Amino acid sequence: MDELSPAAQAVFWAFNSKFDWIEDGVPGPQYKAIATAIEALVDQVVPASPDMLPSLMMVRYRLLAIANELEHLND
């Protein structure tokens, strides 16, 4: 888990806390599922736009970065 940023770890542990996984033993496909859900959320809440405010662009970027970390954790 040390390879994840604190933000990605928080998402991982929030997800993990709802299941009976042992420690950080979530199966690999679950990471990709979490990432896909975050990406869908981002597209709904902070859709890409050419006239996007810089603060919203930063929120979008940070959320997608978390999704990317989770998606590629077991690569």
> pLDDT, tens digit, for every residue of 13-71?
888 777 765 555 556 678 888 999 999 999 999 999 999 999 999 999 999 999 999 98
70 burial type by CB count under 10 A (0-12 exposed, 13-18 middle, 19+ buried): buried
Higher-confidence residue: 56 or 4?
56
pLDDT at residue 25, as a whole number? 58
Question: In Å, what is the CA distance from 35 to each residue of 19, 27, 42, 53?
Answer: 17, 14, 11, 24
CA 14/CA 3 separation, integer angstroms = 17
Per domain, the residue ranges of the chain are: 27-75
pLDDT at residue 74, as a whole number? 73
Confidence of residue 1 (pLDDT cuts 50, 70, 90): low
pLDDT higher than 60, residue 75: yes
Compute the 3-state secondary structure of the chain and give helix, strand, coil in percent, each to the nearest 5: 65, 0, 35
